[in-house]
A = this chain, B = another copy of it.
Amino acid sequence: MRIKCTISYDGHLFFGYQVQPGKRTVQDELEKVLKTLHKTKERIPVVASGRTDSGVHAIGQTIHFDSPLLIPEEKWPYALNALLPDDIVVNKAEMVDEQFHARFSVKKKEYRYLIDRSRHPDVFKRFYAYHVPYQLDFEKMKETSQYLVGTYDFTSFCTAKTEVQDKVRTVYELDWSETADGLQMRIVGSGFLYNMVRIITGTILEVGTGAISPKEIEKIIQAKNRDAAGRTAPAHGLYLWNVIYDN
């Protein structure tokens, strides 16, 4: 039986999603719990929609695994949550057919980036939003977004050390909104390169401060050079919000 789960996790005490020897990772915690639940010593591999980096949060990460256990759909989250550490929560489980693959079936992903605009940092958001107290031209930041929507080679918005060859991605939606005490960037794309959302956020923040003009974004894209873009915004403001599949 293939089980698809929607999970959330607080990234701040994890070295990212993917298993790394000697480090606490989300995948490792999930696989440990599945071993316990299945009373086996063999690894039950968990496949996610993709990795998230150290410190990055998830509201709606998707995973799948195969299990012979006859647990009804609605009981799976309770069974897993009872064993998981309290910074990972399974919100939903569905039985899916073997054609479904958490990574290969992905159609779109939505990330959000949260910014705390309080004068002094909000103590309850120190791990959950990036504190940016200085002046920002929000209209210019919103204007900038349009230049990033579309299908482009996003080399300028990707960490240089990446091994991925094809850096063409499609950004379907990119919008900014004001929240109670801050700002939120929402981005939907076909997939994202290493650090792409954080570099986009950092670059748009530099438009906000006036260091970069909105129109310059076109040139930054054309440069196909990481050095052309702005800084990488920190991990703790970033959330994998939703993973979209065909139905």
A interface residues with partner B (beta carbon < 8 Å) = 8-10, 57, 77-78, 81, 86-91, 119-124, 126, 128
Contact = CB atoms under 8 A, between A and B. Distances in A.
B87 A120 contact: no
A190 B137 CA distance: 44
A112 to B, nearest CB: 13
Given A8-B123, A57-B124, A89-B123, 7 more contacts: A10-B123, A10-B124, A77-B120, A78-B120, A86-B121, A89-B120, A90-B120
Contact of A126 (B57, B87, B128): B87
A245 B88 CA distance: 42
A140 B128 CA distance: 35
A120 B81 contact: yes
Contacts of A8: 122-124
26 contacts: A8-B122, A8-B123, A8-B124, A9-B123, A10-B123, A10-B124, A10-B126, A57-B124, A77-B120, A78-B120, A81-B120, A81-B121, A86-B121, A86-B123, A86-B126, A87-B123, A87-B126, A88-B123, A89-B120, A89-B121, A89-B122, A89-B123, A90-B120, A91-B119, A91-B120, A124-B128
Contacts of A123: 8-10, 86-89
Contacts of A126: 10, 86-87
A5 B10 CA distance: 31
Copies of this subunit:
2
Nearest to A86: B126
Contacts of A81: 120-121
A88 B124 CA distance: 10
A195 to B, nearest CB: 23
A27 B124 CA distance: 19
Contacts of A90: 120
Contacts of A121: 81, 86, 89
A5 to B, nearest CB: 11
Which of A81, A88, A124 has most B Cβ within 10 Å?
A: A124
